[in-house]
Structure 1
Amino acid sequence: MKRLWIGLVVVLMMVATPVVAAEVKVAYVDLQKALVVCDAGKAAKGTMGKRVKEFQATAQKRQQNLKVLNEELEKKKMMLSADARAEKERDYQQKTKDFQRFIKDAQEELQREEGLLGREILEGLGKVIKELGDKEGYTLVLEKSNGGLLYADESIDLTDKVIAAYNKAYKASNGK
Structure 2
Amino acid sequence: MRKILFLVLVLVLAFQAHAFAGTQKIGVAAMGKLIKDSEAGQAAQKQMEKKFVSAKKKLESKQKELEALKQSLQKQSLVLSLEAKQDKELEFKRKVRDYQDLAQATQRKMQAEEQKVGTPVLEIIKAAVDTYAKKNSFIAIFDKGSSGFLYVDETIDVTNEILLEMNRAYRAGKK
TM-score normalised by L of structure 1: 0.63
1:128 corresponding residue in structure 2: 128
**Correspondence 1:82-121 to 2 at 5 A:** 96-121=96-121
Distance change (3 Å), C-alpha of 1:61 and 1:157: closer
Distance in 2 (CA, whole Å) between partners of 1:139 and 1:96 is 54
Amino acid at match of 1:131: T
Which has more radius of gyration? Answer: 1
2:157 corresponding residue in structure 1: 157
Q: Secondary structure at the match of 1:105?
A: helix
Distance change (3 Å), C-alpha of 1:135 and 1:101: same
Shift of 1:43: 1.5
1:25 aligns with 2:35: no
Shift of 1:45: 2.1
1:138 corresponding residue in structure 2: 138
Conserved? CA contact 1:24–1:139, under 8 Å:
no
2:38 corresponding residue in structure 1: 38
Q: Secondary structure at the match of 1:139?
A: strand
1:47 corresponding residue in structure 2: 47
Conserved? CA contact 2:24–2:138, under 8 Å:
yes
Conserved? CA contact 1:25–1:139, under 8 Å:
yes
Unmatched tracts of structure 2, length 5 or more: 1-17
2:174 corresponding residue in structure 1: 174
Conserved? CA contact 2:23–2:137, under 8 Å:
no
TM-score normalised by L of structure 2: 0.63
2:10 corresponding residue in structure 1: none
Unmatched tracts of structure 1, length 5 or more: 1-18
CA-to-aligned-CA distance 1:110-138 (integer Å, 9 cap, x gap)? 23322443343122211111122122222
